[in-house]
Amino acid sequence: MDMPSVESTRVLGGQFELGNKLGSGGYGTVYSGVNRLTGESLAIKMQKRVRGRCELKHEYKVYQVLSSEVGIPRAYAYDEDGDDVYLAMDLLGPSLEDLMKACGGCFSIKTVAMIGIQLIARLESVHRNKYLYRDSKAANFVIGRDRSNPTIYILDFGIAKSYLNSRTKKHVRYQPCVDVIGTPWFMSARAHNGCEQSRRDDMESLGYTLIYMLRRSLPWSVLGDPEDDDEAVDKQIAKMKSTITIDELCAGCPAEFKDFFSHTGSLEFEQAPDYEYLKSVLLQVLVNLGDSNDNIYDWIAPTAVVGAVPSASPESVVKDTDSGESDYSAASSTASSADDSSSSSTVPSIENAICVPATEETLDKGQRQVVGSVQLGTSVKGSDDKLLSGGLKDRILRRYFNRHLKTQPPSSLLAQIYPEVGTVGPTASNACSVGIKRKRDDKEKHGKWKWWKAMVGWLPFGNMKNKRQSSF
């Protein structure tokens, strides 16, 4: 009689026992794990071994450099195991992105100000160790598994970079044309335009993240998701960041936010931010509220709303860890909720968003603004209508409804965007066909010069041929 086979538990390095898969993303897969020597729970990030630079190896190096700093998780080991490489590190709690969803889709002014004060200190410690973070976003900041611990941790140093020249040990020189690194929604305007990043860019990126956590959106949120990889949308976001005023950017935020961006915008390339001043700006927000930095955040306050996720906001999508969200924060949230299921913690559980099919009549004000901006072909002051021609309006509108509202746009809205298919309202297939035709027409018109556009990215897209002829 054959006995059923039992799959043996995989042990990495003779010490780290691999557990359940918790999540996956752009940098590999995250598993729960146990340190057999100490019995501690771990997060284990794994990816296939490839030639060239390994993000996990680089991340482990950065964790080692920052190991003595507050709010930095401990990294225990990096090693190879067969065709895989792995990084064993602390298992922490849910990300601020998850907690936003659990607290109604955004945080209160008080909570955002207290978060900002902590994160300024985190970035200051990273900069003190001669590194740039370059990846500020709510998904990369997490709380601990012990919810009584107010410390906010910073994760994912895969794209962190030293701002010192490895040979001279002096600050790197400014360069106007380098690879664009970061998340489109949150990277600084200079970084988005291909400029070398420095400490000022980390602080500007943090400012965008704080506005996002307060308003649950940014002025360019209507153009897609934070992790979208769309060249035309990317260009539009970069243009919006370069042309928007501080007043427009900080609309609806405390006045002190303008002081925050005025300071980051005034810094020279090699200049260190005034971290104490930036903290004092956010402390003043608390003073104006008649409150203090008491570490009572929305997720531990008695009034926290459990599972209320507004369907209108770009943040209301149900988490998909394959979409590029922070691998580790997704895993931490899952593991923490499982380990703490019997806890009496007051942190609300993360609920999936319930998306109700939308009609034009039931759209709220925010949704009507999204639709209106797409219909007009503009989203903020100074946007380029050419970039919203062809099928891009259709892609933006459909992406917004499909991903965030789980439904098709109302036919009456499509009729306004595509008048050539009739005012009675196109069917989904007809509207899509029109969009495809427009995309094909655009490709036939500009495809010949696409190679030149890629090589000289600063040339205006609409004048490829004339610019090339006048250059010789």
- Helical packing angle, 365-376 and 392-400, nearest 10°: 170
What is the arrangement of strands in the sheet containing 75-81, beginning at the earlier edge strand? 11-12, 16-25, 28-35, 41-48, 84-90, 75-81
Whether the CA torsion 160, 163, 165, 169 is positive or negative: it is negative
Q: Where are the alpha helices (DSSP H) in 310-410?
A: 327-339, 365-376, 392-400
103 SS3 class: coil
User: Which residues are bridge partners to 132 per DSSP?
Assistant: 161
Token couple for 269: 């390339």
CA 435 to CA 39: how far, in whole Å? Answer: 57
- Helical packing angle, 199-215 and 256-266, nearest 10°: 160
CA 207 to CA 257: how far, in whole Å? Answer: 8
Residue type present at position 278: L
Beta strand 131-132 pairing with 41-48: unpaired
User: Are 100 and 138 spatial neighbours (Cβ–Cβ below 8 Å)?
Assistant: yes
Cβ-based neighbour number of residue 363 at 10 Å: 17
Which residue in 439, 437, 413 sits closest to 426, CA to CA? 413
Which residue in 404, 339, 334 sits closest to 95, CA to CA? 334
Residues 6+ apart with CB under 8 A from 226: 137, 183, 184, 185, 186, 314
Element (H, E) at 79: strand 75-81
User: Are 104 and 310 spatial neighbours (Cβ–Cβ below 8 Å)?
Assistant: yes
Token couple for 452: 């030149």
CA 76 to CA 45: how far, in whole Å? Answer: 12
CA 345 to CA 366: how far, in whole Å? Answer: 34
Does the annotation flag 101 for ligand binding?
A: no
CA 465 to CA 346: how far, in whole Å? Answer: 62
CA 308 to CA 107: how far, in whole Å? Answer: 12
CA 309 to CA 351: how far, in whole Å? Answer: 8
Q: Report the catalytic residues.
A: 135
Return binding residues for ATP: 45
Return binding residues: 45
